[in-house]
Structure 1
Amino acid sequence: MERSIKLIDWLKLGIAVLVAKTVTLILRSLHLGAASVLPGSIARFIAPGLLEQFSHQVKSGIILITGTNGKTTTSLLLRGILECEGYRVAHNSTGANLENGLATALVESSNLVGKLDVDYAILEVDENIVSKIIHTIQPHIILCLNLFRDQLDRYGEVDKLSKCLNEAITNFTSDAVVILNADDPILSYIGQQLNQKVYFFGLTEPEHYLESMPHAVDSIYCPNCGHALKYQGVYLSHLGDFTCPSCSFSRSQPTLNSQEWEQVLIGLYNKYNTMAAVTAAQELGVGIETTKFAVKAFQAAFGRAEELEVNGKRVRILLSKNPVGTNETIRVVTESGDTTTLFVLNDRTQDGKDISWIWDVDTEKLVERGGTVVVSGNRVYDMALRLQYSQDSQHSNVNLIVEPDLYRAITTALEKTPAGRTLHILPTYTAMLDVRKILTGSKIR
């Protein structure tokens, strides 16, 4: 009986894969989208145990990567390192990180009958579903990058999210290796309490400390006793070198020295992504020279510091979907010396309906620089109001342009970008997809 049930499951898997691949082919042939979610949804309806069945087929193990910011870049970088070492890797590279997106990626990597012939599967997983998915996919490595406020209407505050993540990892009794951000107080504390094998990554570069604590901080109190943490220095948001003056809690020691690794992508936040991927690669036994070669050759993920050339002008797309991420992209913009910026703010389901987070962003630093700021998106007037309040009416030199139509907004921003300079576009997630479609799919006149 058990054997016949297993045979039925495999038959369901084969049918599910065949149908999902057919749907993918149709959607992409008709240019109806990236087909990153729907095929997996259909496949899971036909074969509910699909994720578990695929997980058992991965030869060397599944690497689960989660956290608020940096999942896609870290996943792609680690994939590049492993492939450079000669491994075959399945990966949800489009960033679709809920159950149906994971299923779609695994279906795409399998053959027509559901055979998955890969060494590793790198699965970028939304931090809100880790507790739901962890026992199903049985990861070999759990890598958590950071915890920031993001989409309050979906996730709530960081304390709630950290509690769920802690319980998920603590209750996962396998011999999984856990890799955590030493500079994030909550993750550092979680790692110090775990029974699993734990590695930490972080920065050891005090020359990059911020001059002051930014406005958008989430976890500056000791997770052990509740006392305010004392920071020797802060890199971004609440990430930095800290100790608690009231108890014995302090920052964990990173496994690797970040000063020994090259900064490839722009932005200090991408150095964190690099150190996370490199730490995981070292745990998996990849040689240092291979790792360094792959890091140096890495190209930015789409919309994540991605650079394009449009009508002879450079365009840089910097995904900006929450306070911390947007503050860091603003830092990149202001340090670049370029003077034209396009903000695109959407509030669709994938962005989160609550856009109150824009009031926690230090837009004053962008406005103080002057230049031209164009705003667009379906919450264009909210963004315009935030920027208007950022101006000092007595000394404001910024040229604020409000353009609800995204195509015209991009055209205007390009026109305002001086020759030889770069237009920086700061979009939310769905806005980033819209921007890329316009820039790569049609000519800007």
Structure 2
Amino acid sequence: MNVVDRVRLGLAVGVAKAITAMVRLLGLGAASVLPGAISRRFHPRLLSLLCEQVKQGVILVVGTNGKTTTSLLLRTILEDQNYQVAHNETGANLINGLVTALLGNTNLIGTLTADYAILEVDENIVPLLLKDCQPRVILALNLFRDQLDRYGEVDAISQRWQKEIATLSPNTVIILNGDDPTLCYLGQQLNQKVRYFGLSEPKLYLEEIPHAVDSIYCPSCGHPLNYQGVYLSHLGDYSCEKCGFKKSKLALNSEDWPQILIGVYNKYNTLAAGLVAQELNVEKAAIFKTVKNFKAAFGRAEELTINGKHVRILLSKNPVGMNETIRAVSDIKKTGQSSTTLLVLNDRIPDGTDVSWIWDVDTEPLVKLGGNLVVSGDRTYDMALRLKYSQETSTEQNSCVKLIVKEDLKEAIETAFNLTGEEETLHIVPTYSAMLEVRGMLTGRQIL
């Protein structure tokens, strides 16, 4: 780095730290984006300069679902091995958020002190980011339809990723979900070292392919894939009878691994973080120890005790995510440990403004199990209508379902709490902005 770059970097860092301090002092937010946005004006190559300084390398975590939980688990594994890790833990996953996270780990002259940087990255900016960053590892978790108003279909995203990844150093390791046909095919086209994680447990197969399935056609030839079974959405064991495309060999046996949190989707998150950690030479026993003591990221199966009652928050922002949440909640309801679920649907920018995706969600299992379903959020009546249709089309236990509509979120939370027994768990199923609101009400001030 020449003298001019060093001076400009120092100026950018100073401005960023001053803005961060001011924003937090005034209680205006977490300062997770603005410092990066302004500091980049002082040095257009700021992101590249910061990434180059990470001692052991940058790890990019991409995909539709599971980025936050997987990144936090991987970070915890590495920190338990005494590594210093930079991480955009606030979830600000666009360029300005990534820059802000890295700047938070620099000293006053712009020297980065982190051994690793774990960066959760929005699907759409992966090609842009790779122009300024040569990562040590790219971890791709899955590709599902999510906010079609922003992203488009999964095939288009995969093609953009493949084009940019192909230009990276052969030393970059690519770790992919082998149960996802789109990602598996992407990996088979690359020259870098590629390793796959996934499930090898037929006992976890769904009884049928869900309605919210995205990719049941061969990514090579377009012929319908032959599925031996699916674990969630289009993730499963598959092959193509026409062209011979098939699932790549997995690097891990999932049956040997413990699991963080609840749900099949969290087993994928565990395997993903574990495989990256092994690639970074962390011993399996050390990984298992961290997994068994891991605590959830906020809103991602996070468990709270509020006024003596147990609450679990399960962020659900697309059809696949909500289907898996319903699957996990239903399993718990069957044990009698939960009778009330609060669903909060918003349509703000972080959620995606198109909420038609709720009609791809299989809400019928939740309705069949009965209990109390409390509905709130900006699009309260859209969610209530979806559940009402599930009541009408379901033939089992309709009389046991109580659908309660509350436009006011505070009132909805109070109602759900009052309906939850002392020994039960209240499950809250919000979209992203709704999750932030709910957590603020639960943890930021007394509401009951």
- Is the 8 Å Cα contact of residues 311 and 444 (structure 1) preserved in structure 2? no
1:27 maps to which of 15, 23, 28: 23
CA distance in 1, matches of 2:392, 2:251: 45
2:443 corresponds in structure 1 to: 440
1:185-225 Cα shifts (integer Å, max 9, x gaps): 01111111211100000011111111111111001111111
CA-CA distance at 1:173 after TM superposition: 4.0
> Where does residue 47 of structure 1 map in the other structure?
43
Aligned to 1:423: 426
How many angstroms apart in 2 are the aligned matches of 1:24 and 1:411?
35
Contact kept in structure 1, 2:170 and 2:191, CA below 8 Å: no
Distance in 1 (CA, whole Å) between partners of 2:41 and 2:411 is 41
User: C-alpha displacement at 1:97, in angstroms?
Assistant: 0.6
> Which amino acid in the other structure matches residue 224 of structure 1?
S
Q: What pairs with 1:211-250 in structure 2 (closer than 5 Å)?
A: 211-250=207-246
Counterparts of 1:358 and 1:168, CA distance in 2: 33
Structure 2 gaps of 5+ residues are none
Separation in 2, partners of 1:65, 1:273: 11
TM-score, normalization by structure 2: 0.96
Distance 1:159 1:423 in 2: 37
Q: Which residue of 1 aligns with 2:411?
A: 408
Corresponding letter in the other structure for 1:399: K
Identify the residue that residue 345 of structure 1 maps to in structure 2: 345
1:303 is matched with which residue?
299
Unaligned runs of 5+ in 1: none
Equivalences, count: 441
Contact 2:299 2:314 in 1 (8 A): yes
Residue equivalent to 2:255: 259
2:322 counterpart letter in structure 1? T
Q: Report the more deviating stretch, 387-396 or 320-329.
A: 387-396
Contact 1:374 1:403 in 2 (8 A): yes
Aligned residue for 1:58? Answer: 54
Letter in 2 for 1:11: V
Residue 132 of structure 2: SS of its match in structure 1?
A: helix
SS across alignment from 2:113: coil
- Provide the rounded CA distance (Å) in 2 between the counterparts of 1:159 and 1:259: 30
Residue among 321, 329, 333 paired with 1:333: 329
**Could you tell me which residue of structure 2 aligns to residue 143 of structure 1?**
139
Q: Is the 8 A contact 1:57 1:116 kept in 2?
A: yes
Once the two structures are superposed, residues 43-79 of structure 1 have per-residue CA deviations (whole angstroms, 9 ceiling, x without a partner) of 1122221111101111111001100000111111111
Counterpart Cα distance in 1 of 2:392 and 2:368: 8
Quick one: which amino acid aligns to residue 429 of structure 1?
Answer: Y
Structural RMSD (CA): 1.3
User: How many angstroms apart in 2 are the aligned matches of 1:7 and 1:428?
Assistant: 47
Distance in 2 (alpha carbons) for counterparts of 1:379 and 1:9: 49
Q: Deviations over 1:341-394 (max 9, x none)?
A: 111111111111111111100111111111111111111111111111111277
Q: Which amino acid letter does the alignment assign opposite residue 321 of structure 2?
A: G
Tell me the distance in 2 between the aligned counterparts of 1:78 and 1:385.
Answer: 39
- Give, in whole Å, the separation in 2 of the partners of 1:226 and 1:336: 38
Which residue number corresponds to residue 314 of structure 2? 318
Alignment check: 8 A CA contact 1:61 1:139 kept:
yes
Matched, 1:399 2:402: yes
Cα shift at 1:172: 2.5
Instruction: Provide, for residues 3-45 of structure 1, a one-character-per-residue CA deviation record: whole Å limited to 9, x for no partner.
Output: 8xx3222222212222222222222222221211111111112
CA distance in 2 between counterparts of 1:135 and 1:120 reads 19
Tell me the residue number matched to 1:276: 272
Equivalences for 1:26-175 in 2 at 5 Å? 26-175=22-171
Moved segments of 4+, more than 3 Å: none
Q: Bigger shift: 21-30 or 265-274?
A: 21-30
Structure 2 counterpart of 1:276, which letter? Answer: A
Equivalents in 2 of 1:416, 1:319: separation in Å?
Answer: 21
**Counterpart contact for 1:66–1:125, Cα < 8 Å:** yes
Q: Distance in 2 between matches of 1:416 and 1:35?
A: 37
- Asked if the contact 1:206/1:233 (under 8 Å) is kept, the reply is yes
Question: Counterparts of 1:362 and 1:20 in 2: how far apart (Å)?
Answer: 45
The share of aligned pairs that are identical, in percent, is: 62
Q: CA deviation at 1:136?
A: 0.6
Match of 1:287 in 2: 283
Displacement, 1:436?
0.7
Q: Measure, in 1, the Cα distance between the counterparts of 2:25 and 2:263.
A: 37
- The aligned amino acid for 1:31 is G
Q: Compare 27-36 and 430-439 and name the one that shifted more.
A: 27-36
Q: For 1:54 and 1:374, locate their aligned partners in 2 and report how far apart those are by CA, in whole Å.
A: 46
